[in-house]
């Protein structure tokens, strides 16, 4: 009888009651889950972002990093896995194909810095574990200066996504996004709602239905190419005939287009210079205003002097998306997005001109001038990024541009970081 009672007690204690069970199943939702979508150019900068997150983990939260990639080498995965192991965090890779988002290099306007893997953020609900309820997507050109647990724990209510309004409002002739235009560098995603509402399918369906808005052909270069072809025909004609050659109507149109674009670009540069004059940092009491008021003031300036007027941008906006993934999300999900506090996606030039270096939040280095491409600290926000890099275990990768390194140099850098963690240097 005593033996039976003992067995029953043991059963209750170790099997039925999970509190006293010998082992508890590791639940992925107990972690702060962060997702990145990167190609082989971004492993080091992604680790720098991870380091800044962990450095500011004052809540002692557990982190699970999810890396969606399409071409990361075994060596880069080895480096990232080693780093994650040393920092005591979980890391998982998810290979995906970008063929659904990229029919040639014309898909993205800025093919030198934005690649199709960025569009993979809209497929996170199907790529990540089906039992994962929430994920925070982050671009890799980011520096975190505070604990992001409050951001991750934000109550989204009935919204599927939480995002931060872009400082610059982007407008197109064929699309009105509504009151807000959101930056896609930070996305707090309720994966359950995304799956229930089939948002991934809606987004991919929108691409297929409106493909013409996503295919980019540089109108300036195209016009110049056509004009050069016409000039070549005219030159050949002159060689064969003594009389003047007649210029075709197509050639005249190409010439007129080139002149028109040159005029637009000239005006755009003039406006951009005016914008830069307005953007100069102010000193003294004028800076002593709230972040929110400063950002709202900045948005008013942006509307009067648009920043993204670089070269052919004004022409493109008539019928092409400049930022396909960001524009797509705004077009399809705009009414399903909760506007979050600006501090969770503060664009770096606002740090330099409005907010200051004591800012606590998320700094986003948007645009082509990445801090790892500029090491002369000509902007305070760049210096902040470099200082964080120098104080991190990843200092062995400074000041190299990772994607320009040969494989042997990468292996040497990997060996250096292993030695650093082992205290050998």
pLDDT tens-digit profile of 117-146? 888 999 999 999 999 999 999 999 999 999
Tokens 């040969």 belong to 406
| 48 and 133 both lie in a single domain | yes
Q: Which residues contact 301 (CB under 8 A, 6 or more apart)?
A: 275, 278, 279
Are residue 201 and residue 232 in the same domain, yes or no? Answer: no
Average pLDDT, the chain: 76
Predicted confidence at residue 228, as pLDDT, reads 72
Give a yes or no: residue 299 inside a domain: yes
What are the pLDDT digits (tens) for 363-397? Answer: 999 877 788 877 666 678 888 998 899 888 888 77
Instruction: Give the CA angle between residues 149, 188, 65 to the nearest 5°.
Output: 65
Q: How many domains does the chain have?
A: 2
> What residue spans of 112-216 are helical by DSSP H?
124-127, 149-152, 191-196, 199-209, 211-214
Task: Choose among 96, 119, 90: nearest CA to 30.
Answer: 90
Q: Do 380 and 345 share a domain, yes or no?
A: yes
**Closest listed residue to residue 98, CA positions, set 211, 204, 209:** 204
Domain span at residue 107 reads 28-216+322-421
The CATH number of residue 188's host domain is 3.90.550.10
Instruction: List phi, psi (to 5°) of 366.
Output: -75, 170
Residue 264 maps to a domain: yes
11 lies in some domain: no
Return the structure tokens found at 364. 């986003």
Dmax over Cα atoms in the chain, in whole Å?
121
Q: Which of 372, 394, 368 is nearest to 382 (CA)?
A: 372
Distance from C-alpha of 394 to C-alpha of 213, rounded to nearest angstrom: 40
Residue 14 in this model has a pLDDT that exceeds 60: no
**Do 212 and 226 belong to one domain?**
no
pLDDT at 268 exceeding the cut of 60: no
Identify the DSSP state of 345: G
Structural domain contains residue 224: yes
* Confidence band of 404 (pLDDT split at 50, 70, 90): low
| Residue 16 counted as domain residue | no
Do 145 and 33 share a structural domain?
A: yes
Do both 49 and 106 map to the same domain? Answer: yes
């Amino acid at each position: 009888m005593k033996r039976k009672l003992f067995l029953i007690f043991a059963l209750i204690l170790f099997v039925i009651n999970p509190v006293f069970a010998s082992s508890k199943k590791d639940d992925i939702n107990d972690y702060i889950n962060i997702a990145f979508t990167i190609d082989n150019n971004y492993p080091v900068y992604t680790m720098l972002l991870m380091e800044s997150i962990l450095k500011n983990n004052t809540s002692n939260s557990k982190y699970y990093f999810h890396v969606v990639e399409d071409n990361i080498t075994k060596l880069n995965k080895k480096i990232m896995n080693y780093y994650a192991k040393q920092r005591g965090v979980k890391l998982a890779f998810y290979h995906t194909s970008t063929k659904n988002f990229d029919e040639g290099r014309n898909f993205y306007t800025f093919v030198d810095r934005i690649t199709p893997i960025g569009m993979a953020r809209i497929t996170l609900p199907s790529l990540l574990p089906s039992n994962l309820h929430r994920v925070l997507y982050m671009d890799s050109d980011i520096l975190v200066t505070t604990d992001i647990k409050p951001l991750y724990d934000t109550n989204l209510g009935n919204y599927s996504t939480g995002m931060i309004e872009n400082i610059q409002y982007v407008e197109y002739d064929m699309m009105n996004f509504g009151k807000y235009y959101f930056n896609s560098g930070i996305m707090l995603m309720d994966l359950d709602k995304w799956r229930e509402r089939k948002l991934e399918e809606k987004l991919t369906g929108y691409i297929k239905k409106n493909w013409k808005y996503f295919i980019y052909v540089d109108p300036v270069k195209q016009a110049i190419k056509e004009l050069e072809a016409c000039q070549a025909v005219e030159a050949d004609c002159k060689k064969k005939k003594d009389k003047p050659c007649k210029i075709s109507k197509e050639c005249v149109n190409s010439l007129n287009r080139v002149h028109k674009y040159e005029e637009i670009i000239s005006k755009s540069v003039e406006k951009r210079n005016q914008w830069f004059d307005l953007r100069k940092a102010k000193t003294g009491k004028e800076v002593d205003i709230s972040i929110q008021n400063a950002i709202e003031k900045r948005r008013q300036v942006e509307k009067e002097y648009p920043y993204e007027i670089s070269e052919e941008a004004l022409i493109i906006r008539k019928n092409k998306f400049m930022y396909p993934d960001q524009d797509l999300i705004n077009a399809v999900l705009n009414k399903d997005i909760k506007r979050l506090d600006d501090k969770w996606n503060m664009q770096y030039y606002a740090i330099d001109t409005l907010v200051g270096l004591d800012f606590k939040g998320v700094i986003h280095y948007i645009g082509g001038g990445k801090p790892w491409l500029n090491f002369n600290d000509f902007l305070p926000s760049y210096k902040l990024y470099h200082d964080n890099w120098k104080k991190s275990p990843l200092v062995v990768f400074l000041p190299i541009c990772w994607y320009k390194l040969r494989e042997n140099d990468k292996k040497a850098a990997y060996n250096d970081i292993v030695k650093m963690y082992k205290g050998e240097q």
